[in-house]
Each structure stands twice: as structure tokens, then as C-alpha cells.
Amino acid sequence: MGMTSKQRAYLKSLASNVTPAFQIGKSSLTPEMVTAVDEALEKRELIKLSVLKNCFDEPKELAETLAERTRSQVVHVIGKKIVLYRPAKKNPKIQLPQP
């Protein structure tokens, strides 16, 4: 389920106003963190995460791993910020532009 550049751009614009819901620190991705992100995606669909300076993992790798474990999509990774998207199973709120 790929995303078009138009859809990605739309999600990026929505995410620009979102404050990070989670911070990934030195313990990196714990199972609790993955569960919390999964639940947040179900509620919000679009979430932003911050990777703190004391985390030694690369933000791009963290984004890919999180996306895989939560069955979501990486919208983008800029610096230490990660944006993930997954439509809600019940009542999706975000309407993506049609390709």
C-alpha cells in the first residue's frame, strides 16, 4: 500500500502543526513504546515522534522499525523528528487526496 507524493505532501502539511506525541530516548524502542505508538495511531492516525539526543539509533532506522511493527507508513523523517500515518480501523478522520 504505497503513498503517492501528493498524499505524502498532504500528510506533511497536516503534521507540521502537530506536536510530538512521543520521545524516543536512550532505551530506544521498547515493547511498551511500540504498543503506545500503535494505540496513538489508532486514535489520531497521524503522529509525530521526537528522537532525543541520548538515543543512539538512527531516526530513519527507528521510523522503519516502528512502521513495520505498527503496520503504519513513514510519512517523513526530518532530523530527529519522525511522522507516521495509519488510517484508523474505525471512523478514519483523515481523507487522503485521491491519486
If you average pLDDT over residues 1-11, what whole number do you get? Answer: 85
Strand order across the beta sheet in which 46-51 lies: 22-24, 46-51, 81-85, 73-78
Residue 92 falls within a domain, yes or no?
no
CATH code of the domain in which 52 resides: 3.30.110.60
Residue 68 falls within a domain, yes or no?
yes
Specify the pLDDT at position 1: 54
Residue 93 falls within a domain, yes or no?
no
Query: Greatest CA separation found in the chain?
Result: 40
In sequence order, the 6+-apart residues with CB closer than 8 A to the CB of 22 are 33, 36, 37, 40, 47, 49, 50
What domain range is 36 assigned to? 5-85
Residue 96 falls within a domain, yes or no?
no
Q: Is the pLDDT of residue 11 over 80?
A: yes
Tell me how many domains the chain contains.
1
CA–centroid distance for 56 within its chain: 19
pTM of the model: 0.91
Q: Is the pLDDT of residue 2 over 80?
A: no
Q: Which residue has the higher pLDDT, 2 or 13?
A: 13
Residue 99 falls within a domain, yes or no?
no
Reported as a single tens digit per residue, the pLDDT across 43-92 is 999 999 999 999 898 999 999 999 999 999 999 999 999 999 999 888 88
